[in-house]
Structure 1
Amino acid sequence: MPTRHILARAARRAATPIAVRPLALSAASLRASALGSASASASSSITSVNSTPSRTRRCLHTTVQENEEGAQSAAEMKVKKAEAAASFQDPYTRYTYLVNTGVLRPDEHQKGIIKKLNRLYDDLVDYDPGTIPPIESVEPSFFGKFFTKTTTDYKPTVARDDVPKGLYLYGSVGTGKTMLMDLFHSTLPRQFGPGSKYGSKRIHFHSFMIEVLQRQHKLKAQYAAEGDEKRDVMPEVARSIAEDGRVLCFDEFQVTDIVTAMLLRSLLERLTDFGVVIVITSNRHPDDLYINGIQRESFIPAIDLIKETFQVVDLDSGTDYRKIPRTLTKVYYSPLNEETSTEMDKLFHGLASADPDPEIKLGRKLPLWGRELTVPESSGHVARFSFDDLCNHPLSAADYLEITGTFPTVFVEDVPKLTLSERDQARRFITFIDACYENKTKLFISSAKPIYSIFSDEGGSAFDDDQIKHMSDLGINTDVVGSSSLFSGDEELFAFARCVSRLTQMATKEWADENALAHRDSTPKDV
């Protein structure tokens, strides 16, 4: 082949970049930075056809060397991909890989927790929960039907003692609960993975209970239409949940209302009968659940069941992982004046114009539980509310989850300073922030006072030393946060501390990055 053809071929090869696809280091929230691409440039190495033989040899040598380096780079990338895939073998292998690649910080206490996750993983490897049996009705006697529900009968799929013991992981904010949950769920044995025989489900507990109530309501309405208004539908609810997944991962487990408290024991017992294994993360030890709640004595059996069927693990190690990301972005604006209003208006219209669905609609309707929820102003992926829209109306967690699940970016404007006369509004606002956190919503807020101090009193304190220390540990100036008499019970005080912590986290660049990853197929570009 003529020399000029050899040189031309070499030039084409050298000028072609060797692209490397980004490597996702983990599933869900465990994502790492993508690896770069390698390319070789021919412009500095290829000479003209009139070059001397020695220069031609040097040119060809350089081209061959670059191609060899590219091949080596591709081979290294192939190895790294194989290592990343192999790291999903079990929780401990995955954790070790993420530490070695710098995605996670090494932590001996957390390492011990991972070993407990691995214990459950090992128990699940050969676990067969069996086929879920049908539910059969047991009619009451002629006189009994006037006083009792229509009961149901079923056979457990597996003996309770043979169901692997679940995990109840508890700890204060910033202990890595959600990361541990995601890591465990991403490494489940094959029979519980996506599209598998038995399946699994990872869900926020608040969303799960809403789902339970929806299924219960639907079944009760169905049987009422058939004249069987007293039928016990909980076995059928539990069966339908078990069919969705035999491993359930509940994040942010908490009991704050009498309805959840009364349902929980019956639900957990029946799920266990159907061979369901459960992993829970919570801010509370089981003994502290529903503390000071109405009719708490009726909830004690559920606490005893949790301690009996779960391995209870304390996550607190003294390390607050939410303190690590400290780079703040400008998302909270105060006070409420013309300048703040102009800035919020500019931000909203800027983000809406960059939305893939940029048309701004007024009064958009979201269907929810047979009714409609009104969104005052929104583009396809950016919604705009006033505090009054969200918190001065009887909205619930279900409403807030629907809003934040539909819109990746939400504006909340004109948040006032909250006093005892706005206690209900304060509780709704905290519930809304929880929904934003669950759905990784990007939040912009304008408020009368700095957002962390909207709950604070002018004087006096309802917080003890531990609460104040906790806020200080979160990097929040306690003089700015102040104190509040809005909240009286332990659960309310903890909800307040969690809300402040989450607002702090949602103001970081890291949170904006998580929002972009979680909604990368739908969110507008940054402006």
Structure 2
Amino acid sequence: MHPRLLAGVQRARVGAIPAARSLAPLARARASVYLRPAFRTVTTSRSALSPGQREDLEHKIHDSQAAASFHDPMTRYEFLVNEGVLRPDEHQRKIVKKLMPLWEQLKDYDPGPLPEPEAEVQPSFFGKFFTRKSSTLEPIIPLDQVPKGLYLYGSVGTGKTMLMDLFHSTLPHQFQAGGKYGSTRIHFHSFMIEVLQRQHAVTARYTAEGDGKRDAIPEVARSIAADGRVLCFDEFQVTDIVTAMLLRNLFERLTDFGVVAIITSNRHPDELYINGIQRESFIPAIDLIKERFDIVDLNSGTDYRKMPRTITHVYYHPLNEETSAEMDKLFHGLASADPDPEIKINRKLPLWGRELTVPESSGHVARFTFDDLCNHPLSAADYLEITAKFPTVFVEEVPKLTLSERDQARRFITFIDACYENKTKLFISSNGPIYSIFSDENGSAMDDETIKQTMTDLGINTEVVGSSSLFSSDEELFAFARCVSRLTQMATKEWADESALAHPTNGKKPPAARQ
């Protein structure tokens, strides 16, 4: 987690979150649980369906009674292929087969009751170096009886999120919503924000009790386990030493409580936090992941986001009077169609104990400049709140970004991630084509073949992009490649349709909320 994000969370939420608060509301707000991303890989024939037919199909897929008939990930995958929601793909089918051993293990897995909140589990090898207070309790379930987790890694567009949601939606009954043990599906950004909030709340309570040096992580891990003994989180990445050290301890404790995790990432574990400060301190966590997870490579050469589809006009350039007039017309047109059409100037939006000024907005459409969103110390948590509040967002006057705007570039990428997570409909005006705003004249050539291929597949000039020195690490380059892929997907008719289904304004619940 970026240090600025950590600082922002600590400043904003001091003492505000109870330690045992459920992750479930945050997971529902931040990431749809039931196969939302599966519809990225639609067939051409589905695009020809009427909106009513598409909604009937999605309702059928998300309906709880229908879902009950999907015995396991493979039967549900075959159903989605037969219904035309997913394209038949032998590589993806082989990956789904790799999910089955863990599903079979979970079917008979009984992790048992959790200890009382005040108790701590006995730390195992790595944990004992970080636990400040000793304990006499053993882990609630022997390590060799906890099923290994799954670590799915691959480049952008390899179907990671779809496969995770496929697995989560077909978990055995004891881990389903309302089951004995439950499960949690959440985006990694949101997960880390919640972990920091819980850690701070527990530490504050220990301090008030005169035990301020006591390690908060065991109780944080216990509260996460109480929310669900299967934990699925998407887009796992380690970009700073704070996150690295926290995860090292947390993973150990979650295993002690019998939690089984399914993780998606762009990177093989050996490549996590590569070239990071004090990376040697994170090596034991990498070893733990390799020991306690089955590592699955999803790369197949197919970008499942790059399917034939109709591009809609959502990105405008250059920055001139004509573009400004077009953006103005679009905003007022969409606002007038909003069920809450009144346009408010300088609306105050509460954000984590602070307020953000929204220059113009109707009930569901917000209009910002790049300066409003990226020239201020906003974090992933802030962007997630904004995009959850406004299903349609305008970002205007995006400049060409150089080394002097490195922080702004990173914030912009984080903002796009939030838009993607909340299925936001996006309109942007920029100095030049949206993908060229990151380039400068002082960088070095891009060496990563995966990123080069992504740029080539998307029709982007790799010489221009590769000259950018904005992205000085492999993690930043991967974040940029993901951003480009997502911007491309968000400019399609299918994305507009999915956004409309995820954010209905006619009073009906979206398909994901029906289950």
TM band (smaller chain): 0.7 to 0.9
1:517 corresponds in structure 2 to: 501
CA contact under 8 A between 2:35 and 2:162: conserved in structure 1?
A: no
2:511 corresponds in structure 1 to: none
Task: Report SS of the residue matched to 2:235.
Answer: strand
2:79 corresponds to which letter in structure 1?
A: Y
Task: Report SS of the residue matched to 2:477.
Answer: helix
2:477 corresponds in structure 1 to: 493
Q: Distance in 2 between matches of 1:267 and 1:222?
A: 19
CA contact under 8 A between 1:461 and 1:485: conserved in structure 2?
A: yes
Q: Distance in 1 between matches of 2:177 and 2:67?
A: 16
1:221 aligns with 2:204: yes
Cα shift readout 1:330-373 (whole Å, capped 9, x = no counterpart): 11011111111111111112112212222222232333333223
Task: Report SS of the residue matched to 1:394.
Answer: coil
CA contact under 8 A between 1:173 and 1:501: conserved in structure 2?
A: yes
1:401 corresponds in structure 2 to: 384
1:89 corresponds in structure 2 to: 71
1:376 aligns with 2:359: yes
Cα offset, 1:187, TM superposition = 0.7
Cα offset, 1:326, TM superposition = 3.5
2:371 corresponds in structure 1 to: 388
Where do residues 266-285 of structure 1 align in structure 2 (5 Å cutoff)? 266-285=249-268
CA separation of 1:306/1:154 partners in 2, compared to 1, >3 Å: closer, same or farther? same
Match of 2:113 among 106, 131, 149: 131
Q: Distance in 2 between matches of 1:430 and 1:160?
A: 39
Q: Distance in 2 between matches of 1:84 and 1:237?
A: 35
1:18 corresponds in structure 2 to: none
Cα shift readout 1:36-80 (whole Å, capped 9, x = no counterpart): 999xxxxxxxxxxxxxxxxxxxxxxxxxxxxxxxxxxxxxxx9xx
Cα offset, 1:479, TM superposition = 6.2
Q: Distance in 1 between matches of 2:465 and 2:107?
A: 48
CA separation of 1:523/1:362 partners in 2, compared to 1, >3 Å: closer, same or farther? farther
CA separation of 1:464/1:36 partners in 2, compared to 1, >3 Å: closer, same or farther? closer
Q: Distance in 1 between matches of 2:439 and 2:367?
A: 26
CA contact under 8 A between 1:166 and 1:310: conserved in structure 2?
A: yes
Q: Distance in 2 between matches of 1:432 and 1:374?
A: 16
Match of 2:492 among 496, 500, 508: 508
Q: Distance in 2 between matches of 1:469 and 1:28?
A: 26
Aligned residues, how many? 450
1:111 corresponds in structure 2 to: 93
Match of 1:421 among 404, 409, 416: 404
CA contact under 8 A between 2:103 and 2:171: conserved in structure 1?
A: yes
Cα shift readout 1:393-414 (whole Å, capped 9, x = no counterpart): 1111111111112211111110
CA contact under 8 A between 1:210 and 1:398: conserved in structure 2?
A: yes
Rg (Cα) greater in structure: 1
CA separation of 1:383/1:36 partners in 2, compared to 1, >3 Å: closer, same or farther? closer
Task: Report SS of the residue matched to 1:88.
Answer: coil
Cα offset, 1:493, TM superposition = 1.4
Q: Distance in 1 between matches of 2:189 and 2:64?
A: 37
Q: Distance in 1 between matches of 2:382 and 2:51?
A: 42
Q: CA RMSD in A?
A: 2.7
1:233 aligns with 2:216: yes
Task: Report SS of the residue matched to 2:70.
Answer: helix
Q: Distance in 2 between matches of 1:409 and 1:380?
A: 10
Q: Which segment is superposed worse, 314-323 or 296-305?
A: 314-323
1:204 corresponds in structure 2 to: 187
Match of 1:171 among 154, 168, 173: 154
2:436 corresponds in structure 1 to: 453
Task: Report SS of the residue matched to 1:444.
Answer: strand
CA contact under 8 A between 1:471 and 1:497: conserved in structure 2?
A: yes
Cα shift readout 1:410-433 (whole Å, capped 9, x = no counterpart): 111100001111111111111111
2:36 corresponds to which letter in structure 1?
A: A
CA contact under 8 A between 1:121 and 1:189: conserved in structure 2?
A: yes
Cα offset, 1:459, TM superposition = 7.0
2:331 corresponds in structure 1 to: 348
2:483 corresponds to which letter in structure 1?
A: C
Task: Report SS of the residue matched to 2:446.
Answer: coil
Cα shift readout 1:119-163 (whole Å, capped 9, x = no counterpart): 11111111111111114468xxxxxxxxx9455564422111111
CA separation of 1:164/1:35 partners in 2, compared to 1, >3 Å: closer, same or farther? farther
Cα shift readout 1:508-527 (whole Å, capped 9, x = no counterpart): 11111221122225799xxx
Q: Structure 1 stretches of 5 or more lacking a match?
A: 1-25, 39-77, 139-147
TM-score (norm 2): 0.82
Q: Distance in 2 between matches of 1:418 and 1:460?
A: 13
Q: Which segment is superposed worse, 434-443 or 375-384?
A: 375-384
Cα shift readout 1:67-117 (whole Å, capped 9, x = no counterpart): xxxxxxxxxxx9xx9995565110011111222222211222111111111
CA contact under 8 A between 1:414 and 1:448: conserved in structure 2?
A: yes
Where do residues 20-169 of structure 1 align in structure 2 (5 Å cutoff)? 27-30=35-38, 85=67, 87-136=69-118, 149-151=132-134, 154-169=137-152
1:359 corresponds to which letter in structure 2?
A: E
Q: Distance in 2 between matches of 1:374 and 1:36?
A: 35
1:505 corresponds to which letter in structure 2?
A: Q
1:52 corresponds in structure 2 to: none
2:270 corresponds in structure 1 to: 287
Q: Structure 2 stretches of 5 or more lacking a match?
A: 1-33, 54-59, 121-130, 509-515
Cα shift readout 1:310-344 (whole Å, capped 9, x = no counterpart): 00000011111111143211110111111111111
Cα offset, 1:483, TM superposition = 3.1
CA separation of 1:507/1:227 partners in 2, compared to 1, >3 Å: closer, same or farther? same
Report the identity percentage: 78
CA contact under 8 A between 2:269 and 2:286: conserved in structure 1?
A: yes
Cα shift readout 1:476-503 (whole Å, capped 9, x = no counterpart): 3446756311111111111111111111
Q: Distance in 1 between matches of 2:153 and 2:139?
A: 29
1:28 corresponds to which letter in structure 2?
A: R
Task: Report SS of the residue matched to 2:338.
Answer: coil
2:467 corresponds in structure 1 to: 483
1:181 corresponds in structure 2 to: 164
